[in-house]
Amino acid sequence: MTKLAPPRSGDPGLRRAFEELRAKEFSRLDESGYVYLDYTGSALYAESHLRDHEDFLEHHVLGNPHSENPASAAATRIVEETRRDVLDFFGADPSDFAAIFTANASAALKLVGEGYPFGPGSRFTLLEDAHNSVNGIRAYADRRGAETTYLPLDEELRRDGSVAIPPAGDGPSLFSFPAQSNFSGVRHPLSLAEDAHALGYDVLLDAAAFVPTSSLDLGAMPVDFACVSFYKMFGFPTGVGALLARREALARLERPWFAGGTVDFVSVGNRIHRLALGAAGFEDGTLNFLGIAALQSGLAFLREVGMERVRSRVGDLTTRLLEILGGVRHANGAPAVRLYGPTDGVDRGGTASFNLLDAEGHIVPYGDVERAAGLEGIALRGGCFCNPGAAERALELPDDQMLECLEAIPPGSFSLRSLAECLGGDIAVGALRASVSIPTTDGDLDRLEAFLRDTTR
């Protein structure tokens, strides 16, 4: 597979344009002196997005959908308009795809897991780099007698190409992979969807970390299900995600329950119900209709900025971030940073995970560094970032010793600190993560570099 370098603009005008956008839409960062480097955790909302939604709420009366009164009808209209806009943004033809609104990407994945018709002979295949919300699907697969297979990662935390994707099982089989790693920023090739389809799988794409800074065209790839979370794309609102599903694949899911709004009818006396067709049959209870009303403005903001321009800008920032992490050294010349994943910007997004090292090469506890950065107004994230497979591979955690410790730590007492104490020795059980996006400036990265150099003196 040919690796693609990130698009480098080579144009100082692009840098100036994003700096002007920062001053216009994210001025609160500079007013507070805050360096925000946790965009993989959550995007920041643009000020114009917030103003647009406030104006919308001030001039509209929206009520609970599923009724014909004027307020309800207005909310229903907004929801359906937004549904079409979301599909358009991701290149999904409404005749082929449905957009199901959920509380977040995890809820979207749960819909697939609980409804997928796993059975004896089925196979669930996924990358070790899966987010926990994808890992959780194995609980449904295991319960129904399906086989779960993990594909390993190589030293760069990319999929190990020497291990082939196994063919689908005799029963319905599901293949899942993240378009971009939540841990390392690695972008796994979207061609994996075609490879898995050719082997007989349905394909579930975790796009949550990918779509905030790159365009996704679902109409151009054989993906059956994809999940997104809108606060990761444009910061507001929280509590709204979506499952984007091919209608023919959606029809194969078997819902284990029903709720308000998901049914055409329910009879108590006759113990019968009928699920609504399409998206409505999967949207449990009252939708977050006020939050959904904010999505079109957020999508319009990303369209105006331009996703290719975003990708180019983030590529430049990521290269600079990696140069900073690779260049910090102690007075004795020893490297002060251990980077996990690729050391260059090829086939990766704007996320980098790392740990600091002392002058003797011992890992500095990530929590100490995270707290020290916070005192300097710098927001990093510490932990395993809900990606245990990538973390275990990157940190070289010993499986046997890990199992003993995980079973020995009493319920309710687990923490990464308790795990580290149990493992003992110089073993890191977590890392730091810095991520960049639309509002990031070179000044932010200058602040990070100065902090790292001061910390490792």
Question: Which positions are catalytic?
Answer: 386
335: which strand partners? 329
- DSSP-based three-state secondary structure for 281: helix
- DSSP-based three-state secondary structure for 356: strand
Written as six digits, the tokens of 271 are 């113990």
Q: How far apart are CA 271 and CA 198, in angstroms?
A: 42
Q: How far apart are CA 452 and CA 373, in angstroms?
A: 9
- DSSP-based three-state secondary structure for 223: coil
DSSP-derived secondary structure letter, 136? T
Sign of CA dihedral 456, 389, 436, 32: negative
Q: Distances in Å between the alpha carbon of 15 and those of 18, 230, 318, 447?
A: 5, 25, 13, 17
Under 8 Å between Cβ of 346 and 38: no
Q: How far is CA 19 from the centre of its chain?
A: 25
Q: How far apart are CA 82 and CA 286, in angstroms?
A: 16
Under 8 Å between Cβ of 203 and 78: no
Q: For residue 396, is it left (φ>0), alpha (ψ between -120 and 50) or beta?
A: left
Under 8 Å between Cβ of 331 and 359: yes
